[in-house]
Every structure is written in C-alpha cells, then in structure tokens.
Structure 1
Amino acid sequence: MSRTGQYAKGVAKREEILEVALEIIAREGYHGLTIRHLADTVGLSKTGLLHYFGSKEDLFVEVLRRRDAVPRDVVARGGSEHFMETLMAALRQNMEAAGLIQLYVRFSAEATDPGHPAHEYFAERYRRLQDSGSDAMQALSADGRLAPSVDPGKLTVLLAALLDGMQLRSLFSPELDVAGHVEHFMHLMGLHAEHDSSKSE
C-alpha cells in the first residue's frame, strides 16, 4: 500500500474511533468508556488504539472537539437572521447526551490547570466563541434585534457562561429545560425567535 493509501486508511480509522467513542459516551455515560472497551469495539489492541491519540485524555479532548463540530456548523449556517432558532436547535441536540455533558463539565474544571491536556482546547474554544459570538451579536444589534442597552461583547461572555453553567445544572436536574431557560435569558436581552417577532407584526 502506498503512503497516501496508508495515510487515508489511518485517517478513516481515527474517524471511526471518534464516532464509536461518541456513541459509547452518549449511550453509557462518561465512565462507560474505557480504552479496553473502545479498543475491542473498533477491533484494535489498547496499544493500537493509543497509537492514534497518545492517551485517554487526548482521546477525550478530540471527542469534545467532535461534539462541538455539528452544533457549531448548525449555528453558522443559520446566520444572524435565524440565530435564536439555530442556537436552540444546536443546544437541544447537545443536551440529549448526558454522558458528553459529564465529560465536558469534568474536563472544563480540570483544564483550568495549564498542564492539563484539555487546557488549550478550552482556551481556544472560548476565544473562538468570543470572536464568532461577538460578530453574531453585533449583527443582531445592528438589525435592532437586541435591546439598545445591551453590549454585544459582554452579552457573548454572559451567554457562554450561562451555557456552561446550565450544562452543569442539568446533571443535577435532568428534567430541566435548559434550552427554554437560555431562550428566556435571550428574551430578556431583547432578542426573540423569528416566529415570535413575526407574530407581533
């Protein structure tokens, strides 16, 4: 097999491992995923599995990156015009997997240590959220969809903190309507879903 073929095969296997890891954590919880369990499921030895990621912690970081990817794409496609609708859809999708929330909450606390494998992931994630979120909030403000007193940059920080806090709270209160509470907060900031504003016209 050529080097190109070997590389493509390796990439495909890595993707398979990540997809299976996501499924196991979503189905069985954060503690349901062991390297042995995952390796057996994807047909590798423990050593073979760690060849792709280096350590269990590095694997978990990549799982979190994959978890972020789909909701981020959903929100990006919606743009500022449908911000509320796409944000709520992405949030509800994320909240369906309690095991992934457990992983996110645990690592977000541990990663405050600069030496933690997930530290750079979270630092970069907050930078990205601030940049993209501020742009979206600026657009909403320019469209007159935010209350005049709301600072778009500060609202972005508050929204990110609210989303993190609500994920933690949901682990203690699984019945909590996280998306509904976030939507209520955004209403307080003057932003309403598109269908709400159309009803008021």
Structure 2
Amino acid sequence: MDAAVPPAAAPKRRARQPRQATAERRAEILRAAANTFGSKGYKNGSLTEVAEQVGITHAGVLHHFGSKEQLLVEVLEYRDKEDVRDLEGQHIPDGMELFRHLIRTARMNVDRPGIVQGYSVLTGESVTENHPARGWVTDRFTILRGEIQAAIVEVGGGSVPEDVAACAASSIIGVMDGLQVQWLLDDRVDLPAATQFAIEAILAAAMLGTERPHPLD
C-alpha cells in the first residue's frame, strides 16, 4: 500500500500590517474631513459626508477618532504636521530660517486650497462660545507667537526689545491668516508674494526697534 501523500502546504499569506493600514486609513479620513469642514464648516460638515469620501460608515469614522470634536482637533494637527514634514527634525526652524519656512508654507498652500480653507474656517469658528477647537487654536497661536518672537530677537542680535518682537510676531501671524482669506476669496491675490512682502516689512520695522518711523503719529 502506497504511503499517503501529504496534502500540499497552503501558500503562506503575506503578513498583514494592521498598524500601517490603520495609519493610512486615519490619514484618508483626516484629508476627507479637512475638505468637508473646509467647505461647509465644522457645524454643517457631517461625519457621514466624511465617511462617504473614504468608503466607510459614520461608525467607522468614530471608531478611529472617537468623536467629531476629536476629529476636528486632529485635522488641525494634521495641517501643522504637513507644514514641517520635510524639515529636519520635523519642527519649525529657528532664526531667519523660520521666516523662510513661513514663506515656503505660503507657496505650498497655493497647491492645497482645501487644507487652507479648512484651517481658515475652523480658526474663525473657534472664537465662538464653547467651540471644541478653541483651546487648540489658542494654544497654537501662543506657541507660534513665542517661536516667531524668539526668531525676531535672534535675527536682531538681541537688540530688538521684547515688546516690539512680541508685537511683530502677532502682526506676522495676523497678516498671514488674513492674506489666506483674501486669496481663498480671490485667487488674483498673489499669496506667496504678498506674504513675503508683509513679513519683510514687519521684520524691517522690528529691526529698527523703538527707532522705527511712526508715520501715523
């Protein structure tokens, strides 16, 4: 009697990488949410619309993010991470390189209007009472003002008074955000050029410190 022939071994399946798949799915949801919230705002943009863009259910979005409020915060964090993704250490640089980075960011934003729109709408809405992104936006501005202020002091070699540097930092953030709104409404606005002009003008004034001209006085 012939020996029984063992059954052919089943082909080995390629090991799945659940963490990678989860990260990719979360990134897809974040991009979809940025587009939805950007075009309709946080209150009117529904999780169902977000889910449909990535081929999952409303419950699937909640599985990854827990709540609409948490998704909102992570959309904003996603935008900031995208801005520094290609930088060494993935962190905003110091000194004069920080201002070059801000101008590069303006150039990048021309090619990602959905993210810019989402940021503009959500930061604007965050000033309303009990808005879930209010704390995140407030903290972000506080940190960014501090980083820009420190860069101004460094570029000025310590000669720029702290109060002048603080005022200049707030002005740079305000101008950049305001220019983005103008550009979203009218693409004839040259976002990179106007951003560079404004930053250079504010820096030039800050470098003069208390000796800067005051034509409005």
- Name the counterpart of 2:188: 175
The one of 60, 63, 68 equivalent to 2:75 is 63
Number of the residue aligned with 1:195: none
Matched-pair contact (CA < 8 Å) for 2:152–2:203: no
Shift of 1:153: 1.4
Aligned partner (choices 39, 53, 67) of residue 30 of structure 1: 39
Instruction: Give the letter for the 1:18 counterpart.
Output: L
C-alpha contact 2:96 2:151 (8 A) present in aligned 1: no
Counterpart amino acid of 1:38?
V
What is the letter of the counterpart of residue 111 of structure 1?
A: S
* CA distance 1:190–1:159, shift in 2 (3 Å): closer
User: What is the CA-CA distance between 1:179 and the residue it aligns to?
Assistant: 2.0
Provide the rounded CA distance (Å) in 2 between the counterparts of 1:160 and 1:68. Answer: 14
TM-score after normalising by structure 1: 0.72
Q: Structure 2 stretches of 5 or more lacking a match?
A: 1-16, 205-217
For the Cα contact (< 8 Å) 2:94–2:151, is it kept in 1?
A: yes
Distance in 2, matches of 1:188 and 1:37, equals 43
Post-superposition Cα deviations, 1:160-199, rounded to whole Å, max 9, x if no partner, equal 11111111111221221122112112322355xxxxxxxx
**Structure 2 counterparts to residues 106-185 of structure 1, below 5 A:** 106-142=121-157, 151-185=164-198
**Where does residue 64 of structure 2 map in the other structure?**
52
> Could you state the TM-score of these two structures normalised by the residue count of structure 2?
0.67
Match of 1:80 in 2: 95
Which secondary structure state, in structure 1, belongs to the residue aligned with residue 127 of structure 2? coil
Structure 1 stretch displaced more, 6-15 or 173-182: 6-15
Name whichever of 182-191 and 83-92 sits farther off: 182-191
Q: Which moved more, 1:135-144 or 1:172-181?
A: 135-144
Q: How far apart, CA to CA, are the structure 1 residues paired with 2:53 and 2:114?
A: 18
User: Could you list the per-position Cα deviations for residues 16-55 of structure 1 after superposition, in whole angstroms to 9, with x for gaps in the alignment?
Assistant: 4224545xx29x9624975334324434321121232244
Question: Would the alpha carbon gap of residues 110 and 29 (structure 1) be closer, same or farther in structure 2, given more than 3 Å must change?
Answer: closer
Alignment CA distance shift 1:157-1:109 (3 Å): same
Compare CA radii of gyration and give the structure with the larger one. Answer: 2
Residues of 2 paired with 1:17 and 1:56: CA distance? 12
Compared CA separation, residues 181 and 59, structure 1 to 2 (3 A) = same
Kindly indicate which of the two structures has a greater share of residues assigned to helix.
Answer: 1
Once structures 1 and 2 are overlaid, which stretch shifts more, 124-133 or 74-83?
74-83
Of the candidates 114, 119, 132, which is equivalent to residue 99 of structure 1?
114
Q: Deviations over 1:55-114 (max 9, x none)?
A: 444323311211112224549464324333322111211232222232222222221134
Q: Distance in 1 between matches of 2:28 and 2:185?
A: 32
Q: Which runs of 5+ in 1 are unaligned?
A: 192-201
Distance 1:104 1:29 in 2: 7
Aligned-pair identity (%): 24
What's the secondary structure of 1:62's corresponding residue? helix
